[in-house]
Structure 1
């Protein structure tokens, strides 16, 4: 009997479920429509950045088939979006989850400091804001040129203070301290693992975190689509909004090294320059270039914009984000080219139901990480192997019994 015959027989007997389609993700069409280029401003010079991992064309497109493009995704018969220098961007509705427009939404790039939004989404529920953290030398072990709020070794900082340092000043020292404490006995590595688990839960499958702060690291990526998912989770939390929208904060004194303390200001200019601004996060590294996440409300709508791989032409990344927000607010409320999946939809995507209502078994990795090869436990070849193994064991048992009978 062939492997396919075994599979057919098991399906007929109800022992193997036939695959079903998912409403939350769509496979890329084999006859993909022509790619529409994104309106783009080309900078005079573009520094080299790490290559983006290619997307698996056979994998489902999270958020809908309309997002299966490396170019522009925009509703039909609407005004073209403004030109930017960004490599990718997304404009989405925070409340409905509708994606109003996008440019190469699933392109994977370095996140820079917008990675801190994933840290916040992961660690805010775990930490008591009044818990006092004692800064260590490891918290302050950072590259020579980096963003730091100015913690001192041995300083005592409430968790709430560290959140202000993280979101206003983009302090990488605060990121290290928060990740260390949130990880418990597992420290920073445990928080990194939790960040990746949270991204998976949200459906942010383009995301892989390696550092809590967003400092460049090999194999660390996210996408404009994933950042919109993460931002949506953050902006649903009142504590995040409270920290993120503060314009300034008095950093506490740490005598004798710092007897007076100092004031820090919010780096997100959207808050003071854009009517209806709700907050967000800026980011920059050499490998990521400029990244930005910003949200605003107007006319009863709350939109978020995510920008990746921008240069400071035609303007700063947050100004490019403002232009995209203006474009989004000018679209009809019904405009959509895809949607932000919910955590429930992501769960069905990761563990799709079978025709019988049960869940399909998870696939088993049989290759080293990064090799991209998987063995699916539902394949006919594996089923045939299991059947043959059972028959062989039964035959050996029968022979043993006959010999013992003699």
Structure 2
């Protein structure tokens, strides 16, 4: 029997426990170090940000306890990263999974169109790129003035063309059409795919990601984090079709003669592929609420890095330019530099299995177990937890993921210094 604990209840119990129990897995948190920011005025008239869920101590340490910060974390001896307007960001190695540095990696943010990378990670392998589908009216049910690739009701398009429209031109109409088809093609297809996107996020260990729309258009309760986006991007860049699509500079939307609709060309809006040597592509995003977001990858000397950033402004650098600056910084670091790691689906599955086995053992004995002896400041402290508390902790997969991480030297945390939707 699988023991599952509701995440809100688990979060409240963990928060209370962390507050009173200093543990090896939850060291005393140092003060957050501000991330380097350019000295520019913030634009006026920006809508208020959605109120995020409270920080969950278990989720904040996925990938390593040094990632549990709202501020800057970089390897010992590393040079200061560039000053960017992005509120949060992360740079990681796509192959080794090492996190090279970050600013608030587990801070909740709104995604905008970089959420389309989660749609790709969830259903790209499930849809035949050669299949032709017919667009229905609900596919065009998108926000006024939001980005669209120009699909027409009754038009017939190859799925490969829809992926290009999604990833090059950030077409929200393409997102709806792909999500509908992946969910079975019916009126509930989009809802089924959004549910699948959330399940895929959990499978990857992206516990702070919750999708409400397949496109990334703002929705109540829709959040992600820079760390989660790196997990999602890692799966995407492992897909040859995704890599091909995001490196495509231009594509052709086929004519629809039966509807008297001419064909047209559309361009890749990710300027990284035109201007950055070794660029692997990525995805841009923008809404007036989320501000600018960006996911980008690049390869240099056999090393492949990914950068994700959220909550950025376009001045003095656009999102892709901020990504390029952070990639340059990442490539300048030694290959063994790290402040944490990107967990894998295998890590997640193993810890879920361990949690289930331990929870079943606790349930079978019907007895509370004594907690291990924890060290805090060189002093031992033994705490007896209730059986319910133990079960909740054991069911908290994100917390258990931390226990699998190899302890590293603590990185240095140094002080550093439009209405259209995409």
TM-score, structure 1 as length reference: 0.80
Q: State the alpha-carbon separation in 2 of the partners of residues 157 and 344 from structure 1.
A: 36
Aligned match of 1:33 in 30, 33, 45? 30
CA contact (8 A) 1:314 1:320 kept: no
CA contact (8 A) 1:43 1:311 kept: no
1:253 matches 2:255: yes
Q: State the alpha-carbon separation in 1 of the partners of residues 321 and 389 from structure 2.
A: 54
CA contact (8 A) 1:27 1:60 kept: no
**Structure 1 pair 211/377, CA: closer, same or farther in 2 (3 Å)?**
farther
For the aligned residue pairs, the C-alpha RMSD in angstroms reads 2.3
1:168 matches 2:165: no
**Structure 1 pair 309/255, CA: closer, same or farther in 2 (3 Å)?**
same
CA shift, 1:286, in A, is: 1.2
Q: State the alpha-carbon separation in 1 of the partners of residues 51 and 115 from structure 2.
A: 19
CA contact (8 A) 1:67 1:105 kept: yes
1:275-298 alpha-carbon deviations (Å, 9 max, x no partner): 000010000001110000000000
CA contact (8 A) 1:27 1:59 kept: no
Q: State the alpha-carbon separation in 2 of the partners of residues 293 and 225 from structure 1.
A: 11
Partner of 2:381: none
CA shift, 1:53, in A, is: 2.4
Number of residue pairs matched by the alignment: 342
Partner of 1:198: 200
Partner of 2:93: 93
Q: State the alpha-carbon separation in 1 of the partners of residues 41 and 154 from structure 2.
A: 46
Partner of 1:154: 154
**Structure 1 pair 126/225, CA: closer, same or farther in 2 (3 Å)?**
same
**Structure 1 pair 278/155, CA: closer, same or farther in 2 (3 Å)?**
same
Q: State the alpha-carbon separation in 1 of the partners of residues 42 and 60 from structure 2.
A: 35
1:119-147 alpha-carbon deviations (Å, 9 max, x no partner): 00111111111111110110001111100
- Comparing 155-164 and 56-65, the one that deviates more: 56-65
Q: State the alpha-carbon separation in 1 of the partners of residues 114 and 390 from structure 2.
A: 44
Report the secondary structure of 2:299's partner residue. strand
CA shift, 1:43, in A, is: 4.0
Report the secondary structure of 2:137's partner residue. coil
**Structure 1 pair 359/258, CA: closer, same or farther in 2 (3 Å)?**
farther
CA contact (8 A) 1:362 1:377 kept: no
CA contact (8 A) 2:155 2:259 kept: no
1:126 matches 2:123: no
CA contact (8 A) 2:166 2:174 kept: yes
CA contact (8 A) 1:84 1:313 kept: no
Partner of 2:397: none
Partner of 1:324: 326
Q: State the alpha-carbon separation in 1 of the partners of residues 340 and 231 from structure 2.
A: 13
CA shift, 1:349, in A, is: 3.7
Q: State the alpha-carbon separation in 1 of the partners of residues 214 and 288 from structure 2.
A: 17
Report the secondary structure of 1:196's partner residue. helix
CA contact (8 A) 2:299 2:305 kept: yes
Report the secondary structure of 2:354's partner residue. coil
1:179 matches 2:176: no
Q: State the alpha-carbon separation in 1 of the partners of residues 222 and 361 from structure 2.
A: 24
- Comparing 46-55 and 173-182, the one that deviates more: 46-55
Partner of 2:311: 309
Q: State the alpha-carbon separation in 2 of the partners of residues 336 and 177 from structure 1.
A: 40
Segments of 5+ residues of structure 1 without an aligned counterpart are: 1-25, 364-375, 383-406
CA contact (8 A) 2:59 2:207 kept: no
1:58-108 alpha-carbon deviations (Å, 9 max, x no partner): 556110011011100100111100001111000000000000000000011
TM-score, structure 2 as length reference: 0.77
Aligned match of 2:388 in 370, 373, 379? 379
Partner of 1:226: 228
CA shift, 1:377, in A, is: 11
Partner of 2:209: 207
CA contact (8 A) 1:72 1:102 kept: yes
CA shift, 1:353, in A, is: 4.2
1:28-67 to 2 correspondences below 5 Å: 28-29=26-27, 31-41=28-38, 43-46=40-43, 47=46, 48-57=48-57, 61-67=61-67
Q: State the alpha-carbon separation in 2 of the partners of residues 240 and 378 from structure 1.
A: 47
Q: State the alpha-carbon separation in 2 of the partners of residues 81 and 130 from structure 1.
A: 43
**Structure 1 pair 138/42, CA: closer, same or farther in 2 (3 Å)?**
farther
CA shift, 1:28, in A, is: 3.4
CA contact (8 A) 2:59 2:208 kept: no
Report the secondary structure of 1:40's partner residue. coil
